[in-house]
Amino acid sequence: MIRREFITLLGGAAASAWPLAARAQQAGKLPTIGFLGSSTLSAMSQWTAAFVQRLRELGWVEGRNVAIEYRWAEGRADRLSEIAAEFVRLKVDVIVTYATTGTLAAKQATSAIPIVFAIAGDPVGTGLVASLARPSGNVTGLSLQLTEVSGKRLELLREAVPDLRRLAILGNVGNPFTVLEIDEVQAAARTLGLEVHTPEIRRAQDIAPAFEALRGRADAIYVSTDPLVFTNLTRINTLALGLRLPTMLGSREDVEAAGLMSYGANFPDLFRRGADFIDKILRGTKPPDIPVEQPTKFDLVVNLTTAKVLGLTIPESFLLRADEVIE
């Protein structure tokens, strides 16, 4: 089993506030978690299972001493604010989110209800928190710091595709983090002397035209992961294969869905860690007193079946460095 390590930035002691769980139970209801799913239930099933399992390990059993209200935005940005507003009306005790867009929607909806992001690309750069050590406000969680690894992803992609000269960067420009990541990838591509194309998407309807615009203009594609992309992952990988474009993606789940390779943190592990944050908040700790955590170990995953479909031979030395090879 691959070991995954997390580093916790120290700072702040637990608050002495009366636990949210105790207040909720005195009011005659179970403490309630509002789960704002930016994608779909099927796409996030592994993550939610890890989250719920860790809650059980910490003593929180759904339906017994905690309630979870699930809502799914299905990759639609307009649904995020609607769901966040609904959670405020329901007076949930804590909101758990995934991705920058979902967290921003929750933060705009409430400054009182604690918010935990299980995954966020760059929470400081996008204004979700003031700093990793002292988040401030009502928001904390786990940062991927993806802008810091985007250059490494591009280096890995070029190593696997040595003839790479023209790079496409696909991302949802409606996501503030994606804009930051695209800028970082473009800067890294310039240092490598690559020609860059950046078709913009904001909705699912934009995906097919974006790929059509890349026909004959790219040798590989860097895909910035966000809820819109993750919700439409099968379509994206299918279109990439149709154009014989090797893909660099953000997570193992992306590669399982026929992407070529990914370099990033383990998302189910992040959701497990997110449950630890929820546990602390339900027991009375305030978000500013829980430092943002970030992974220090990133996994390289390669799909050999996809490589064969693309007619791409991945160097043996590259495969030996991979944390996982899917065949």
Residue 1 has pLDDT above 50, yes or no: no
Same domain, 51 and 113: yes
Nearest to 87 by CA among 22, 51, 37: 37
Within a domain: residue 21?
Answer: yes
Same domain, 159 and 72: no
Q: Name residue 169's amino acid.
A: I
pLDDT for position 37: 95
Within a domain: residue 38?
Answer: yes
Same domain, 183 and 40: no
Of the spans 4-8, 38-42, 141-145, 205-209, which averages the highest pLDDT? 205-209
Instruction: Give 114's Cβ-side CA count (13 Å radius).
Output: 28
Determine the average pLDDT of the residues in 296-302.
88
Within a domain: residue 186?
Answer: yes
Encode pLDDT of 64-105 as tens digits: 999 999 999 998 989 999 999 999 999 999 999 998 999 999
pLDDT for position 28: 59
Same domain, 201 and 54: no
pLDDT for position 298: 86
pLDDT for position 259: 96
Strands (E), the chain: 6-8, 32-37, 67-72, 94-98, 115-120, 139-143, 166-172, 195-197, 200-201, 220-223, 247-249, 261-264, 293-295, 299-303, 324-326
Determine the average pLDDT of the residues in 285-301.
92
pLDDT for position 23: 52
- The mean of the pLDDT values for the chain is 90
Same domain, 310 and 176: yes
For the chain, helix, strand, coil in percent to 5 are 40, 20, 40
Same domain, 44 and 82: yes
Residue 2 has pLDDT above 60, yes or no: no
Same domain, 122 and 177: no
Within a domain: residue 224?
Answer: yes
Integer Cα distance of 117 and 79 in angstroms: 17
Encode pLDDT of 312-324 as tens digits: 999 999 999 999 9
Q: Which of 57-61, 94-98, 210-214, 225-229 has the lowest mean pLDDT?
A: 225-229
Within a domain: residue 257?
Answer: yes
Residue 6 has pLDDT above 60, yes or no: no
Rg (CA), the chain: 20
Same domain, 318 and 290: no
Residue 296 has pLDDT above 60, yes or no: yes
Per-residue confidence band for 16, with pLDDT thresholds at 50, 70 and 90: very low
Same domain, 316 and 280: no
Contact (CB, 8 A) for 259 and 223: yes
Residue 18 has pLDDT above 80, yes or no: no
Q: Locate 117 and state its tokens.
A: 């992001």
Residue 240 has pLDDT above 50, yes or no: yes
Determine the average pLDDT of the residues in 272-298.
94
* Domain count along the chain: 2
pLDDT for position 295: 85
Same domain, 182 and 315: yes
CATH number of the CATH domain containing 104: 3.40.50.2300
For the question of whether the overall pTM of this predicted structure is more than 0.85, the answer is no
pLDDT for position 314: 95
Domain boundaries, position 109: 6-144+265-295
Encode pLDDT of 120-145 as tens digits: 988 998 899 999 999 989 999 999 87
Q: Locate 22 and state its tokens.
A: 């105790």
Within a domain: residue 1?
Answer: no
Within a domain: residue 276?
Answer: yes
Name the burial class of residue 86, with classes exposed (0-12), middle (13-18) and buried (19+) by CB atoms within 10 angstroms of its CB. Answer: middle
Per-residue confidence band for 5, with pLDDT thresholds at 50, 70 and 90: very low
Q: What percent of the chain has pLDDT over 90?
A: 80
What is the secondary structure of 83-150 as a DSSP string?
Answer: HHHHHHHHT-SEEEEESHHHHHHHHHH-SSS-EEEEEES-TTTTTS-S-SS---TTEEEEE--GGGTH
Per-residue confidence band for 19, with pLDDT thresholds at 50, 70 and 90: low
Same domain, 164 and 238: yes
Residue with tokens 């991979």: 322
Same domain, 47 and 100: yes
Determine the average pLDDT of the residues in 194-215.
96
